[in-house]
């Protein structure tokens, strides 16, 4: 079975500081990994995805993530936090079931950005 673990349910950074949100995965097959962002009372929006093409993946809003097989990690980073980045972030691993592209989500990390 595939799973993801997000370390830190809450992360607080100052505006302009580095954002680092951690995600570790467990998978017996090469994983497909996703980061989604959820703003209050909104659906989930895809930030970026890893599908084995390149280990460093660039996404929207200045975010990127690096796939490290040796560490089974897919951490999300942004060099300089902005107030608008405050949201819930979910890491997910994809699996094919025969009829769907199923996602197994982590428990989420709430990012707070302070002045």
Partner 1 sequence: DAMVIQNPRYQVTQFGKPVTLSCSQTLNHNVMYWYQQKSSQAPKLLFHYYDKDFNNEADTPDNFQSRRPNTSFCFLDIRSPGLGDAAMYLCATSRDRGKRNEQFFGPGTRLTVL
Binding site for partner 1 (CB under 8 A): 32, 34, 36, 41-46, 49, 51, 90, 94-103, 105-108, 110
DSSP state, 41? T
Cβ(96)–Cβ(90) under 8 Å?
A: no
- Which two structure tokens, joined as six digits, stand for 39? 């703003």
Task: Report the residue number, 13 or 47, with the smaller CB distance to partner 1.
Answer: 47
**Closer by beta carbon to partner 1, 17 or else 104:** 104
Residue placing its CB nearer to partner 1 in the complex, 3 or 114: 3
Find the shortest distance in angstroms from Cβ 5 to partner 1.
12
**What burial class does residue 28 get, using C-beta atoms within 10 Å of its C-beta: 0-12 exposed, 13-18 middle, 19+ buried?**
exposed
């Amino acid at each position: 079975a595939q799973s993801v673990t997000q370390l830190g349910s809450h992360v607080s950074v100052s505006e302009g500081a580095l954002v680092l949100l951690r995600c570790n995965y467990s998978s017996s097959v090469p994983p497909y990994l996703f980061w989604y962002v959820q703003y209050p009372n909104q659906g989930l929006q895809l930030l970026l995805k890893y599908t084995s093409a390149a280990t460093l993946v660039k996404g929207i809003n200045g975010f990127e993530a690096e796939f490290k097989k040796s560490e089974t990690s897919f951490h999300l980073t942004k060099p300089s936090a902005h107030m608008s980045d405050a949201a819930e972030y979910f890491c997910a691993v994809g699996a094919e079931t025969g009829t769907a592209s199923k996602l197994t989500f982590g428990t989420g990390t709430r990012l707070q950005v302070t002045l």
